[in-house]
Chain A
Amino acid sequence: MNVDIQSLGTFNQLAHEGAEQATQSMGQMTGIDAVVDVTKITLLDRADVGEELAGRDFVGVQFSFDGVLEGDTVLAFDVDSAGTITEEMMPGSSDDEAMARSGIEEIGNIMMSGFIDGWADYVGATIDHSPPEYIEESGGDVLPDAPENGDHQQVFVFKSEIEWIDESVNFYIYMLPEYESLTEMMMDHVDTDGDAIPIDKLQTFNEMTTSGTQKAADNVEMMTGIPTESEVTQISFAPIEDVPKQIGTDTFVGTVVEFTGTPSGYLMVLFDEVSAINVAEAMMPIEMDSDELTDQHKAAIEELGNIMTSGFVDGWANVLQTSVEHTPPRVVHDMGRAIMDPLAAQVGQYQEHAFIIDSQMRTDDIEFQAEIHALPNEKELRAALDDLDVERATETGADVEQIFK
Chain B
Amino acid sequence: MKVYDGSQTDSPAQSSPERIKVGIAEYKVTTEPAVLTTSGLGSCIGIAVYDTRNTVAGLVHVMLPSAADIDGGNHAKFADTGIEALIEAMADAGASTEAMEAKIAGGSDMLDFSENGSSIGSRNAKKVRETLEEHGVPVVGEDLGGDHGRSVKLEADTGNFVVKSANTDSITL
Contact = CB atoms under 8 A, between A and B. Distances in A.
Nearest to B43: A342
Given A31-B9, A341-B43, A241 B77 contact: yes
B111 A335 contact: no
Contact of B63 (A33, A165, A245, A344): A344
B23 A341 contact: no
Nearest to A241: B25
A333 B167 contact: yes
Per DSSP, are chain B's interface residues mostly helix, strand or loop, or mixed?
loop
7 contacts: A241-B25, A245-B40, A249-B151, A258-B113, A338-B148, A338-B166, A342-B110
B44 to A, nearest CB: 5
A332 B110 contact: yes
B1 interface: no
Contacts of B73: 352
Contacts of A31: 9-11
Contacts of A32: 11
A19 to B, nearest CB: 14
A266 B42 CA distance: 15
Nearest to A343: B111
A242 B61 CA distance: 12
B39 interface: yes
Interface string B35-47: 0000111111000
A162 to B, nearest CB: 12
A342 B119 CA distance: 9
A376 to B, nearest CB: 14
Contact of B64 (A33, A256, A339, A348): A348
Interface string B93-126: 0000000000000001011110000011100000
Given A241-B25, A334-B167, A345 B39 contact: no
A346 B121 CA distance: 10
A200 interface: no
A166 B120 CA distance: 32
Chain A CB within 10 A, most for which of B19, B110, B148:
B110
Which has the most chain B C-beta neighbours within 10 Å: A37, A166, A244, A336? Answer: A244
A258 B112 CA distance: 10
Nearest to B12: A31
Contacts, number: 117
B121 A342 contact: yes
The bracket for how many chain B residues form the interface is 35 or more
B23 A37 contact: yes
Nearest to A251: B166
B150 interface: yes
Among A335, A336, A344, residue most surrounded by chain B Cβ atoms (within 10 Å): A335
Given A165-B19, A166-B19, A241-B23, A341 B113 contact: no
Max chain B Cβ within 10 angstroms of own Cβ: one of A37, A245, A338, A339: A338
Given A251-B166, A333-B167, A349-B69, A340 B20 contact: no
B140 interface: no
B113 A334 contact: no
A349 B10 CA distance: 41
Contacts of A256: 111
Contact of A345 (B9, B71, B120, B166): B120
A244 B149 CA distance: 12
Contacts of B44: 341-342, 345
B151 A335 contact: yes
A330 interface: yes
Contact of A338 (B23, B108, B113): B108
Contacts of B120: 342, 345-346, 349
A189 interface: no
Contact of B40 (A165, A244, A343): A244
A266 B39 CA distance: 22
A167 to B, nearest CB: 10
A396 interface: no
A33 B9 contact: yes
Contact of A342 (B24, B25, B112, B151): B112
Contacts of A342: 42-44, 108, 110-112, 119-121
Given A33-B11, A335-B149, A341 B70 contact: no
Interface string A231-261: 0000000001110110001010000101000
A337 B39 contact: yes
Given A345-B44, A345-B64, A245 B23 contact: yes
Interface string A311-343: 000000000000000010010111111111111
Contacts of B119: 342
B11 A345 contact: no
A352 B77 CA distance: 10
Nearest to A257: B113
